[in-house]
């Protein structure tokens, strides 16, 4: 009996040990399951949030796509209207460039032909404007030249009148030389400068004659008083 009881105790102890090991293993497994369940719950919650966010994004994208479709449709209408206007504008350009009747009745005018024609018309217009501008400048230049000549003639006439007035009075060569110097100092342009040269040649000849006359008169004792220009006086001859 003692041996039987001892064997029973050993079996019981072994059984209890196995049960304890099994319980411990089950505890660990349960703990792991709880951890896995917590992780799974977190992942499910995260996935639910992500799915909700994606649903919102999909809804927003759907609205944006619908809005873009609506905008594209509106733009298509605008493009159609713009194309119609451009075609009308192109027709008007063709009429303005070629005239009321198309030059090519058997075929339509290409864009390249229209561009070349517009370029030609533009160049012709520019050339015409340049010719007009050149003509205006030439007209202005001629008008300015006439004004300059008129002004030079007036200056020359005034100087010649002074010279003539001096020669009509009993002036001495010194007075006439002053008027000749004034005439020579006039700044005039052709053709008035040619008249100035001719007048200077004549007046210089007259001045030379007057100087020679005064010198001859001085040689015979008749000198022009330096204190009273234009007055002839007789001075006694100077004895050398």
Q: What whole-number distance in Å separates Cα of residue 174 and Cα of residue 143?
A: 40
Q: Of all residues in the chain, what percent carry a pLDDT higher than 90? A: 5
Q: What is the mean pLDDT of the chain?
A: 78
How many angstroms separate the Cα of 30 from the Cα of each of 11, 24, 27, 34, 101? 28, 10, 5, 6, 98
Each residue of 201-218: pLDDT tens digit? 888 888 888 888 888 877
Which residue, chain included where needed, has tokens 């015409």? 128
Q: What whole-number distance in Å separates Cα of residue 94 and Cα of residue 114?
A: 7
- The residue extents of the domains of the chain are 1-107, 134-234
Q: What whole-number distance in Å separates Cα of residue 69 and Cα of residue 95?
A: 39
Q: What whole-number distance in Å separates Cα of residue 83 and Cα of residue 77?
A: 10
The total of other beta-carbon atoms located within 10 Å of residue 183's CB is 20
The percent of the chain in helix, strand and coil, each rounded to the nearest 5, is 80, 0, 15
Each residue of 62-94: pLDDT tens digit? 999 999 999 999 988 888 888 888 888 878 877
Q: What whole-number distance in Å separates Cα of residue 95 and Cα of residue 99?
A: 5
Each residue of 150-191: pLDDT tens digit? 888 888 888 888 888 887 776 688 888 888 898 888 888 888
Which two structure tokens, joined as six digits, stand for 94? 């063709």
Average pLDDT (6-27) is 78
What pLDDT shows up at residue 4? 63
Nearest to 214 by CA among 229, 198, 199: 229
What pLDDT shows up at residue 65? 92
DSSP 239: P
Task: Look at the pTM and tell me if it is higher than 0.85.
Answer: no
Nearest to 162 by CA among 150, 177, 140, 147: 177
Cβ proximity of 94 and 102 under 8 Å: yes
Q: Can you spell out the DSSP letters for 94-123? A: HHHHH-SS-S-TTSPPPHHHHHHHHHHHHH
């Amino acid at each position: 009996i003692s041996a039987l009881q001892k064997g029973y105790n050993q079996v019981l102890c072994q059984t209890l040990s196995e049960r304890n090991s099994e319980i411990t293993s089950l505890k660990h497994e349960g703990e792991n399951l709880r951890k896995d369940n917590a992780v799974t719950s977190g992942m499910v919650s995260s996935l639910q949030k992500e799915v909700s966010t994606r649903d919102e994004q999909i809804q927003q994208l759907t609205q944006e796509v619908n809005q873009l479709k609506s905008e594209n449709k509106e733009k298509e209408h605008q493009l159609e209207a713009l194309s119609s206007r451009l075609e009308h504008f192109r027709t008007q350009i063709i009429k303005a460039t070629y005239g009321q009747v198309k030059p090519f009745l058997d075929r339509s005018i290409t864009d390249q032909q229209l561009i070349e024609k517009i370029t030609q018309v533009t160049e012709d217009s520019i050339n015409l404007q340049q010719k007009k501008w050149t003509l205006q400048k030439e007209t202005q230049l001629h008008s300015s030249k006439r004004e300059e000549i008129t002004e030079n003639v007036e200056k020359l006439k005034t100087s010649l009148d002074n010279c003539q007035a001096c020669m009509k009075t009993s002036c001495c060569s010194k007075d006439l030389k002053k008027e000749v110097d004034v005439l020579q100092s006039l700044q005039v342009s052709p053709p008035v400068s040619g008249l100035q040269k001719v007048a200077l040649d004549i007046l210089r000849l007259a001045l030379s004659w007057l100087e020679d006359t005064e010198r001859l008169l001085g040689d015979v004792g008749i000198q022009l008083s330096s204190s009273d220009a234009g007055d002839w006086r007789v001075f006694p001859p100077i004895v050398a």
